[in-house]
Every structure is written in C-alpha cells, then in structure tokens.
Amino acid sequence: MAGRTLKLIVDLQKDVSKSRKIPTFVPKKEPRHKSHLLHFFDQPFREIITGIEPVKERLIPSAQSKIDNKTKPLGSLGRLEELAVQLCLIQGTLEPEIRRKALLVFAGDHGVTEEGVSAYPSEVTYQMVLNFLRGGAAINVLCRHNAIEMRVVDIGVKGTFEDHPLLWKKKVRNGTRNFLLQSALTAEEATQAIQRGMEVFAEFGGSERIDALGLGDMGIGNTTASTAIICAITGLAPELATGRGTGVDNKALEHKIKVIKKALEFHEPDANDPLDVIQKVGGLEIAGIAGAVLAAAGSGAAVLLDGVISTAGGLIAYLINPAIKGYLVAGHRSVEPAQRAALSYMGLNPLLNLNMRLGEGTGAALAINLLEASAKIMKEMASFEEAGVSREKDET
C-alpha cells in the first residue's frame, strides 16, 4: 500500500484495551490543497472549499499577551489558555464569544457488517436514530445539559423515517457496499455525501451564525471503515490501528483486523487522494462529516471532533483543504487506537481523556463547555491593571 513518507513517533501512552504501545504518525510536510479534486464538486461547493481561509495567525502576539496579562500566574489555566488564543484566531477578534453551540450526528449503514465486524446487528443503526429522535441517547442528554442544538442527519441509513423536527433526510443510498468485495461507494456517491454534509451545515446555520460545531456519528460497522481510512492515509498497520468498536471479543477483533487488511490490499487506496480513500473503504456518514467540517471552517466556526469516526471525517476534510486545521479542536482521546494516529497526523492534541468510545458526538459535546469557558476567560477575566493586582516580582 503506497503511503506518504512519514516520520514514526512512538507514543508511550498505551491502548487501554490491549495494553500495547500505539505508534502515531506525523507527515513531514503539510498536505497541499487538493485543487485537482475540485472538478468533482458542483460549483457552489467548490467555492466553499476554495474560500476557506487560514485562521488569523497575525493575532497570536496580541492574543497571547492578553491572556498572559489576566490575574493569574503565566500559563496556570493550561489548555484553556491555548483554546482562548485559538478562538481569537478563528473569530479574528480579541473578544471571542460562543453564542450558538450546535451538534450534528450523521448516520449511515455499512455493507462491511456482512463480514461480522461488529458486536451488534446493522439494524441497530436505524433503531438508534429513532432513539436520538425520542431524546433518549447519551448525546441527547449531554446536548440538553450543555444547551447545544442537536440535529440528526440520515445520510445512508437502511430504511425510511417519518418527518421529525430533529431529522434531516439527506440519504445518498441505503448504506455502503461491502468494501471487502467492492468499493464502498462510487465516486459520484462519495462526492454527493460530502456535498450533503456541506448543505446540512448551511441549513443548520441559517441566518444565525454557529460559533462552535460538534460532530457525531451513528453507524454499525463504522469503526471498521474509519480505521481503514486512517490506515490508508497514515500508513499505520491495521494490527496496530484496530480497536474493539462496539466491544467485540478477541476472536472477533482478529477477524476485524483481517477484514481491514484484506480490503486495503485489495483496493490499494491512494493516500494522497481523499476521495479515492473514502470511495473505496469509507462510509456515507464519514463523508458527510467531512463536508460539514469544510463548510463550518469556511464559515469561521470552531469545529469539535469526537471519536475515531468524526476524526476520520476530519482527516478527509484536512486532506481536501489543509486550511481547516486551525479551526479543529479534538474533543477527547478515544480508546480506539486509530484515532490517536489521525490526530497526530493533523497535529491535534485532544482535550479530554475519559476512556470513552461511544461516539454519537459525546466527547465533542463535553468539550464544547471547555471552549465556551475559554472564551469567557479571555473576554471577562480581569487583567492585573483592571483589578489593581500586583504582578509577579521581577527577580532580575
């Protein structure tokens, strides 16, 4: 399998599920904008992709100076300070705000479940979407708790749903094909799914700006597809990248690894072509997430990735246009080892490490609170001068 030249870095943190060291990979060079892929997209979507501007790095000195001058020892708020500066760069102001928080859960089925890669039957995807619409899932609870607007996107679930105010019907097809036997999607289907992800974000935003977007997923079999995507792009071996997903036992895990390995050997996806990767071994919800990431970054929103599935979608978007990187926030470190490699590849450091592997956007929903807190610290916390507090003594 051809892959980008990579520098191998050994991550001393171990996969909690298998007590093994997980290598992570960092590309020697930032990926280039994939301008040769733009002809696959319709004109309005090409404009979104090419219109993404890097975050305002010119504000780094002034943003850092402002957070350093708050009434605290330098760096004592840790990652919250980094987030505050990042928000300044994203929003182009030293007075960042998180006024509107939103979360999209993309749902789709996977043909590769025919190979027995999940502990749950594929009909659980449909059943869980109904659970989302009734408000009974973990992500519903967390979104209510954190005042996050949530919508569910049927981009590829087998079956049909009645109309519901929380549901967007954006189905491309009834699940992917079994990628052990053939490509998961056609080129047209993969492109269409990415475009529908962009459409959904635009419709969700409407006339009121979204400041922070969390991304979640639902799809039995999607850790298999996500791991295949990440292996194809980073070059990480399936033996090191594959996790237990919904909780498969050791025998099923070995089988899952073999399925991913055989699929990658069969398709030989091009690591430098994100559309080729997602077409051959991807998923509709992953493609939809990639589209939403592109559109959100284009609008100037902070984008919170969740676990391995939304991270795989973020990785696809990153390869399409690397300018999105400054808008990305890794909500948490998943137990799934492939996520670690993908985050390292993009240069992202997750905020939380709670041994979570549920998906749905749960880690992103928890992390949005930290993003909001960092904005308030930057905007509302007093400086030494404003508070009349003495600074640290100069020992020189």
Domain of 197, in residue numbers: 6-28+100-373
Report yes or no on 129 lying in a domain: yes
Half-sphere exposure for 264 (CA within 13 Å, toward CB): 27
2 pLDDT above the threshold of 50: no
For residues 155 and 197, the answer to whether their CB atoms sit within 8 Å is yes
Q: How far apart are CA 20 and CA 64, in angstroms?
A: 38
Specify the pLDDT at position 207.
80
Query: Is residue 203 flagged as an active site residue?
Result: no
User: Per-residue pLDDT tens for 219-244?
Assistant: 999 999 999 999 999 999 999 999 99
What's the length of the chain? 396
Closest CA relative to residue 123, chosen from 159, 153, 98:
159
The whole-model pTM stands at: 0.91
Average pLDDT of span 101-122: 97
Q: How far apart are CA 261 and CA 388, in angstroms?
A: 63
Report yes or no on 208 lying in a domain: yes
Report yes or no on 69 lying in a domain: no
Report yes or no on 65 lying in a domain: no
Report yes or no on 75 lying in a domain: no
* Total domain count, the chain: 1
Report yes or no on 315 lying in a domain: yes
Report yes or no on 177 lying in a domain: yes
SS3 358: coil
354 pLDDT above the threshold of 50: yes
Burial 141-156 (b: 16+ CB within 10 A, else e): ebbeebebebbbbbbb
Least confident of 17-26, 162-171, 201-210, 363-372: 17-26
12 pLDDT above the threshold of 70: no
Report yes or no on 287 lying in a domain: yes
Pinpoint the alpha helices (H) of 146-283.
187-205, 222-234, 238-241, 250-267, 274-281
Between residues 181 and 246, the one the model is more confident about:
181
90 pLDDT above the threshold of 60: yes
Residue 52 phi/psi, 5-degree rounding, is -70, 120
| Tokens, residue 260 | 């991913």
27 pLDDT above the threshold of 70: no
Looking at residue 229, which CATH number applies to its domain? 3.40.50.10210
| Tokens, residue 217 | 């997923």
Orientation angle between helical segments 362-380 and 79-91, nearest 10 degrees: 80
Q: How far apart are CA 294 and CA 51, in angstroms?
A: 10
| Tokens, residue 373 | 């807190």
User: Per-residue pLDDT tens for 285-336?
Assistant: 999 999 999 999 999 999 999 999 999 999 999 999 999 999 999 999 999 9
Closest CA relative to residue 309, chosen from 249, 229, 237, 369:
229
7 pLDDT above the threshold of 70: no
Q: Taking the mean position of all CA atoms in its chain, how far away is CA 31?
A: 18
End-to-end CA distance of the chain: 58
SS3 156: strand
Give me the catalytic one of 81, 199, 285, 360: 360
User: Per-residue pLDDT tens for 195-210?
Assistant: 999 999 999 988 899 9
Phi-psi region of 150 (alpha: psi -120 to 50; beta: other; left: phi over 0): beta
Q: How far apart are CA 128 and CA 134, in angstroms?
A: 10
Specify the pLDDT at position 15.
41
Residue 313 phi/psi, 5-degree rounding, is -65, -40
CB-based contacts of 83: which residues, under 8 Å, 6+ apart? 329, 351, 370, 371, 374
What is the helix (H) or strand (E) element at residue 45, kind and residue range?
helix 43-50
Tokens 């998943």 found at: 334
CB-based contacts of 69: which residues, under 8 Å, 6+ apart? 383, 384, 385
